[in-house]
Amino acid sequence: MRRRPESLLETDRAVLTPEQKKRNFKLALVLASIAVVFFVGFMAKAALLGM
């Protein structure tokens, strides 16, 4: 009987290929840049228009 994995990291499906890691990293950069743009926009609005 096969034992149940204690976490998702123990399953075979959780192993990422180098291509998947590269795509995940690119997605992370895109999402981080969007968050930075929103933050800078909010700070500029607060600075220019007052709180």
Q: What average pLDDT does the structure give for the chain?
A: 85
pTM: 0.63
- In total, the chain counts a number of residues equal to 51
Q: Reply yes or no on whether the pLDDT at 2 is more than 80.
A: no
pLDDT at 8: 58
DSSP labels for 7-37?
A: SGGGSGGGPPPHHHHHHHHHHHHHHHHHHHH
Q: Reply yes or no on whether the pLDDT at 50 is more than 60.
A: yes
pLDDT at 35: 98
Q: Reply yes or no on whether the pLDDT at 7 is more than 70.
A: no
